[in-house]
Amino acid sequence: MDAALITAFLVTLGAGLATGIGSTIAFFTHHTNRAFFAASMGFSAGVMIYLSFVEILPKADARLASGSETTLNSPESSGLTAAFFIAGMLLMALIDNLVPSSSNPHENTDVELIGEDRRPQFQAETSKMMRMGIFMALAIAIHNLPEGLATFMLVLEDPKVGIALAIAVAMHNIPEGIAVSVPIYQATGSRLKAFRLSFLSGLAEPIGAAVGYLVLAQFLSDFLLGAIFAMVAGVMVFLSIDTLLPTARNSARGHLTVYGFIAGMAVMATSLVLLKL
116 is in an annotated binding site: no
Residue 82 has pLDDT above 90, yes or no: yes
> 274: how many CB neighbours lie within 10 A of its CB?
8
Residue 235's pLDDT is: 87
Residue 103 has pLDDT above 80, yes or no: no
Least confident of 84-88, 184-188, 258-262: 184-188
User: How much is the average pLDDT of 21-30?
Assistant: 71
Residue 87's pLDDT is: 96
The residue range of the domain holding 151 is 3-275
pLDDT > 90 in the chain, percent: 18
3-state secondary structure of 73: coil
Residue 130's pLDDT is: 76
Query: pLDDT: is 121 or 101 the higher one?
Result: 101
Residue 33's pLDDT is: 67
144 is in an annotated binding site: yes
Number of residues in the chain:
277
Residue from 106, 180, 171 nearest 137 by CA: 180
Contact between residue 190 and residue 39 where contact means Cβ atoms under 8 Å apart? no
Burial readout 116-144 (b: 16 or more C-beta within 10 A, e: otherwise): eeeeeeeeeebeebbebbbbbbbbbbbbb
| Phi, psi dihedral angles at 3 (to 5 degrees) | -60, -35
147 is in an annotated binding site: yes
Q: CA of 265: how far to CAs of 46, 51, 93, 169, in Å?
A: 5, 8, 24, 15
What average pLDDT does the structure give for the chain? 81
**In the chain, how many domains are there?**
1
Note the pLDDT tens digit of each residue in 168-179. Answer: 888 878 877 877
Residue 221 has pLDDT above 70, yes or no: yes
Residue 83's pLDDT is: 96
User: How much is the average pLDDT of 18-43?
Assistant: 75
Contact between residue 117 and residue 186 where contact means Cβ atoms under 8 Å apart? yes
User: How much is the average pLDDT of 136-156?
Assistant: 82
* pTM of the predicted protein model: 0.70
Residue 120's pLDDT is: 46
Residue 115's pLDDT is: 47
Residue 85 has pLDDT above 70, yes or no: yes
Residue 220's pLDDT is: 79
Under the banding of pLDDT at 50, 70 and 90, the label for residue 68 is: confident
Residues 94 and 35: their CA atoms lie apart, in Å, by 31
250 is in an annotated binding site: no
Residue 106's pLDDT is: 54
User: How much is the average pLDDT of 14-28?
Assistant: 82
